[in-house]
Amino acid sequence: MYCSEGNSKSSIQRPITDATKLLEVSLNQIVNKKLLCILSALIVLVLAGATIFERFYGTTTVMDLCYHNWWFVALWALLVVVVTISFIRNGKMSFSVWILHSAIIFIVAGALTTFIFGEKGTIHLRQGLPARFFLDNTSSDCYSLPFAMILNRFEIKYYDGTTRPGDYVSRLTIVDRNGEKQEAVSMNNVLSYRGYRFLQGSYDDDKQGVVLLVNHDPWGMWLVYFGYLLFSGGIMLNLFLRGGKIKQWLTNLQSNRQSIPFLLGAFVIAGVIVPSYVLLRMSYSEKYLQPVLQSFWLKPHVWCIATSYTLFVLVTLNSFVACVCRMRKSWLELENLRMISKLMLYPAIAFLGIGICLGSVWANESWGAYWSWDPKEVWALITFIVYALAIHDEKIKWLQNPLSFHLCLFFALISVIMTYFGVNGFLGGMHSYAS
């Protein structure tokens, strides 16, 4: 008996279809919401433990054993794989949510690219002497630049009538095959040349030499920046689109119009009053700002962070009221308060995320790296992850209970307290000037 062409094709397609179904079932078993929650919780615990470990054993040790170790990189790579597979499985995801979550993939992929291919180091320049070799920070190896650099002059600019430094400026000559070029490097003024970025580091005691930070990361930085752009765009779309979550929750809250004045007051306090107070206090207490703080990014970064932290505090107070209502068996009020918390929670996470992105760009302009695993950065990231889990309550079974949801938000404030007070008072780091 001979098989027809149609029977032959069906016999080939059947195993392919079966294999596809088997792969889909396997992905559903391996990658699910529970795994994503467990992985996120594990990352939070690792990050928190690393900051405390750094406090007692030093930055170099924690970098070697954790942040720059293969298992830590693999942990983040696993997160990207899980998020990507979740994308593939979830075909009903809206465009704005798709953009928001794809930003995570680009950011982590960019960070991984920086980790593998990026070069960071220092170059020591003495006045009048050409130099073209820089020392790698991680391997202590020397690498050659495709051009030479000469320090012409280093100067410290002071605030008028004081001895407080206002800026540090290195006047340079770049020498390559195309000739010579005059350049300058100062705080928050990065010199970019042929794919290399140079930032002001330190200076010699005799002021005849300087140490510049060297960064060569042509791909990773732009992948991360593109991820930041996607994240900010996804946030805006979710906030203002007709089918966005904020519009949906406001519709659900229309039956309880007494909550509207409270929400408006909360946003005025968090978005206007508190950030204005923080910025005014900063301007008065630091009449002569440190050079690193003299940046365009200072005000938008501080405004976003102050707004988010204030909203988190208001969410916690709202959750406390909800717990009291639970004691009085007021289940309807408990659900209304849950909706109020979500209406404040989403903008809080949005402002925190954008604030972290702005701070990252600022750090890249000041310190030569968009992320340094400084304790303040790490705890801001922990706070973002903790509250991001809470905003996915519709997909996490135990958070679908209103009481569990409010208890989660109540204890989540611990991460905010650690970020704002714990880092400044106990952990220290590059952000210690904020204390």
- Written as six digits, the tokens of 410 are 């109540």
- pLDDT, residue 417, reads 92
Distance CA 409, CA 334 (A): 14
Q: Cβ distance 125 to 210 under 8 Å?
A: yes
Q: Give the mean model confidence (pLDDT) for residues 319-341.
A: 78
Distance CA 428, CA 377 (A): 11
- Return the SS3 of 292: helix
- pLDDT, residue 163, reads 81
User: Which residue in this structure is represented by tokens 């109020």?
Assistant: 340
Q: Report DSSP letters for 190-203, one per residue.
A: -EEETTEEEEEEEE
CB neighbours (10 Å) of residue 284?
A: 8
List the beta strands (DSSP E) in 217-284. Answer: none
- pLDDT, residue 9, reads 46
Does an H or E element contain 120, and which?
strand 119-126
Q: Cβ distance 174 to 180 under 8 Å?
A: yes
- Written as six digits, the tokens of 185 are 């490097």
Distance CA 81, CA 266 (A): 38
Q: Give the mean model confidence (pLDDT) for residues 413-429.
A: 84
Q: Cβ distance 372 to 401 under 8 Å?
A: no
Higher pLDDT, 299 or 257: 299
Quick check: 199 pLDDT over 60? yes
Band of pLDDT at residue 331, cut at 50, 70 and 90? low
Quick check: 130 pLDDT over 80? yes
Lowest-confidence pick of 39-48, 219-228, 270-279, 379-388 = 270-279
Q: Cβ distance 322 to 406 under 8 Å?
A: yes
- Return the SS3 of 310: helix
- pLDDT, residue 1, reads 43
- pLDDT, residue 324, reads 82
Quick check: 30 pLDDT over 70? no
pTM here? 0.84
Residue 217: phi, psi to the nearest 5?
-145, 75
Band of pLDDT at residue 3, cut at 50, 70 and 90? very low
Band of pLDDT at residue 154, cut at 50, 70 and 90? very high
Higher pLDDT, 223 or 164: 223
- Written as six digits, the tokens of 341 are 């918390």
